[in-house]
Every structure is written in C-alpha cells, then in structure tokens.
C-alpha cells in the first residue's frame, strides 16, 4: 500500500516538472517546511501544542538577505460550527544590493480548522492579510548618466519621486490533512496571494506594476520506516506571472533520544529545485524543558543550472558562492511533551 502511494506521489511530481521553470519573483525559502505561515496561512495554529515561534534567515549570493519571524497558536476555546480557530502573524524583511532595495511585509493570518471526518480528514482555511513597505537608499543609486565617460567614476545619488511605497493586499489558503493510514498522514494545500493585485506603483514611478498575483501548492507526509528512521517528503510549487518554481525532496529523521540526552532527533535532507539547484539540509531537535522544544535547521543551495557557467554569473561577485538558510523553531506545550514533533516539517500528527 505504502509503495503504491509513494509511486503515485512521484508520478505527480514528475508530471508537474514537465512544465515548470525555476524562477519566481517574490522571495522564497529553500526550507519551505520551516516557513509554514509564509506559504499557506491555513496552517496558522495547525499543530498539537500551544505556541510556535519560528525565525528564518536567508543569504543569497552574499548580496540578498532575508529575515523573517513568525508566531502562531491554536485557539481551542474559540469554536464555530464544530471547528476551532488559529491565529498567526509574521514580519519579513528582504533587502538586496548596494541600494538596500527591499520590502518589509507584515502579515496577519487568522485560520479556521474543521474536522470533516474525525481523526481522518481535517480542512483548514486561512486569510493572508498583507501590508508591505518598499524602500530604497537613494544616495547609493547610480544611473548610466552618472558615470564619467572618461574616468569611469560614478556619482551616486538620485531623487526619486517615490523612494518609499506602501500597499496592502489579501490572500487565501486552503489546507487538507488526511490520514491515509494510522501511520501515513498526508498534508496538502493551495494558496492564492495578492488577490487585489495592489502593487502601489514602483519606486521610480506611480504607475509601474510591481505586484503580480501568485499561487502555491504545498504537500508533505510522514513515512515511518521503523522506530528509529522516518522519511519526511515535502513538495512546493510556486507560480507568479510567467515564473514557476518547484522544490521536492525529503528529510530523513533519526530518532536518537534514547541514545543521547543532548538531542531528541537528527535530520538529514536533500531537495531539488527543478532546473536550478540541489538543496542540502541538516536539522536537530533539542529539548529546552519539559514543555519547550527547539528545532534548529541549516540548508545550503548548490547551483547546478547552466546559469552558473554563464558570463552573467562570472561578471558578478557571486562566483564561488551559493545560498544558505538558518531556521530556529520553538514549540511550547503546556502539557509535557511525550513524543516530540518532528522539527523542521510542519507536523500536526505527533
């Protein structure tokens, strides 16, 4: 049974690969399982504990840097039509280049969770309420006319009419949790972002369109091999305007708490960003107290596409560098944690 399921999942992945490219406009995280709220607001409060805090950092080619912090929790006392609510929020800052051009997102994400078939199927719906501020350091901008044709010396500094822009928008996400078997849960969802398409204009113009609608598909599962080894396959597909990106791969979880008091579980993983990079991941679970578990993750993106050998790559300062990410997650349970949740994946099935 499990073999047939895995073969079906692989076939779906390969089918999606056939029409996918690797490029996306908005910031993305290679550790997408460690950024559940960023990719699907329906996952707000969708875990079996009380509070969750996640910190993410991404460095890409030593030129682009992204910071993100999120918090969410279930609200079991607030019920409607037999379902419960969750609430989440995140702040994300993305800056790059010498001009520090970037975006700062603040998102509020309420969600509703409903058991359709108790212990078998749960459907969740969440809103992505986004407020965004675009900024640029005008004093560092150099336009072609500001370069001396004889000496080649630049004279930085531009007076843009819109050095900052603010806009707000909304998205919606749906998530389904299905227990195919007692020990084989499957989680999947779809999210539509920026439904109103309000980009607020560009930095240099009031009319340029910078905010394109996008959507994403996410899925993950838990496949135990034995009492010590568990596979945590995961997948995400992103589309924005004409750009597509798809990542798929798996963590392998090694439960080692019975062998060492230092960590509870160790994770080694590899993913493929189709047509672009291999992603190598390492993570571990560290108990902080009887009620709090910390999960630390590190990943490294190794560019394997033809772009690495292109003249454009050689002309930049990116030669010899790739991308890496850190993530730290804290999960708090008022009740004592008996079986720690897998650390990197968003896992409500412990």
pLDDT single digits (tens) 256-277: 987 888 899 999 999 999 888 8
* Higher pLDDT pick, 178 / 6: 178
- pLDDT of residue 45 exceeding 70, the answer is yes
- Residue 47 pLDDT level (bands cut at 50, 70, 90): confident
Taking each continuous run of H as one helix and of E as one strand, the counts in the chain are 3, 15
**Which pair of structure tokens corresponds to residue 169?**
């928008």
- With left for phi above 0 and alpha for psi between -120 and 50, is residue 344 left, alpha or beta? alpha
- Residue 295 pLDDT level (bands cut at 50, 70, 90): very high
CB 254 within 8 A of CB 266: yes
How deeply is 310 buried, as exposed, middle or buried, from its count of CB atoms within 10 A (0-12, 13-18, 19+)?
exposed
* Higher pLDDT pick, 66 / 148: 66
pLDDT of residue 230: 93
pLDDT of residue 6: 44
Identify the weakest region by mean pLDDT among 119-133, 216-230, 280-294, 299-313.
Answer: 299-313
How many Cβ atoms are within 10 Å of 131's Cβ, its own excluded? 14
CB 21 within 8 A of CB 307: no
DSSP state of 160: -
How deeply is 117 buried, as exposed, middle or buried, from its count of CB atoms within 10 A (0-12, 13-18, 19+)?
exposed
Fold classified for 2-332? Porin (2.40.160)
pLDDT of residue 28: 79
- Give tens-digit pLDDT for 163-221: 677 888 899 999 999 988 777 889 999 999 988 876 654 544 455 455 578 889 999 99
Q: What is the mean pLDDT of residues 14-30?
A: 50
Compute the distance between CA of residue 35 and CA of residue 27 in angstroms, rounded to an integer.
12
Compute the distance between CA of residue 60 and CA of residue 295 in angstroms, rounded to an integer.
22
How do beta strands 277-287 and 223-224 pair? Answer: unpaired
**Which pair of structure tokens corresponds to residue 220?**
């993950």
- Give tens-digit pLDDT for 146-158: 565 666 565 555 5
- Report in angstroms the alpha-carbon separations of 201 from 132, 205, 207, 321: 12, 6, 5, 33
For the chain, the structural domain boundaries read 2-332
pLDDT of residue 214: 83
Q: What is the CA radius of gyration of the chain?
A: 22
Compute the distance between CA of residue 110 and CA of residue 277 in angstroms, rounded to an integer.
34
pLDDT of residue 144: 57
**Per-range mean pLDDT, top range of 5-14, 151-160, 336-345:** 151-160
Q: How many CA atoms lie within 13 A of 339 on its CB side?
A: 9
- Give tens-digit pLDDT for 298-313: 999 988 866 555 545 4
* Higher pLDDT pick, 324 / 314: 324
- pLDDT of residue 7 exceeding 50, the answer is no
Which backbone phi and psi does 93 adopt, to 5 degrees?
Answer: -120, 130
Does this model's pTM top 0.95? My answer is no
């Amino acid at each position: 049974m499990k073999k047939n399921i895995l073969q079906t999942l692989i076939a779906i992945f390969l089918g999606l690969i056939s029409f996918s490219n690797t490029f996306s406009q908005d910031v993305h995280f290679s550790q997408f399982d460690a950024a559940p709220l960023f990719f699907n607001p329906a996952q707000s409060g969708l875990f079996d504990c009380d509070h969750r805090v996640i910190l993410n950092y991404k460095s890409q080619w030593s030129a682009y840097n992204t910071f993100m912090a999120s918090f969410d929790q279930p609200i079991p006392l607030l019920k409607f039509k037999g379902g419960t609510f969750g609430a989440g929020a995140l702040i994300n800052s993305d800056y790059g280049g010498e001009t520090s051009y970037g975006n700062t997102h603040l998102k509020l994400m309420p969600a509703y969770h409903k058991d359709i078939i108790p212990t078998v199927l749960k459907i969740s719906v969440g809103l992505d309420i986004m407020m965004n501020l675009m900024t640029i350091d005008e004093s560092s901008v150099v336009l072609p006319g500001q370069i001396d044709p004889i000496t080649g010396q630049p004279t930085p500094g531009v007076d843009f009419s819109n050095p900052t822009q603010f806009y707000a928008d909304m998205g919606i996400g749906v998530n389904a949790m299905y227990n195919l078997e007692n020990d084989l849960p499957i989680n999947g969802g779809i999210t539509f972002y920026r439904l109103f398409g309000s980009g607020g204009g560009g930095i240099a113009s009031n009319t340029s369109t910078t905010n394109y609608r996008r959507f994403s598909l996410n899925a993950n599962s838990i496949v135990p091999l034995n009492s010590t080894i568990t596979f945590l396959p995961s997948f995400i597909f992103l589309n924005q305007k004409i750009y597509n990106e798809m990542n798929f791969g798996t963590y392998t979880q090694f439960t080692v708490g019975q062998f060492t008091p230092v960590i509870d579980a160790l994770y080694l993983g590899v993913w493929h960003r189709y047509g672009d990079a291999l992603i190598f991941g390492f993570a571990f679970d560290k108990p902080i107290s009887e009620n709090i578990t910390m999960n630390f993750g590190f990943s490294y993106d190794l560019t394997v596409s033809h772009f690495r050998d292109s003249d454009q790559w050689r002309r930049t300062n990116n030669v010899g560098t790739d991308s890496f990410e850190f993530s730290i997650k804290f999960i708090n349970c008022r009740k004592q944690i008996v079986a720690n949740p897998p650390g990197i994946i968003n896992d409500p099935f412990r």
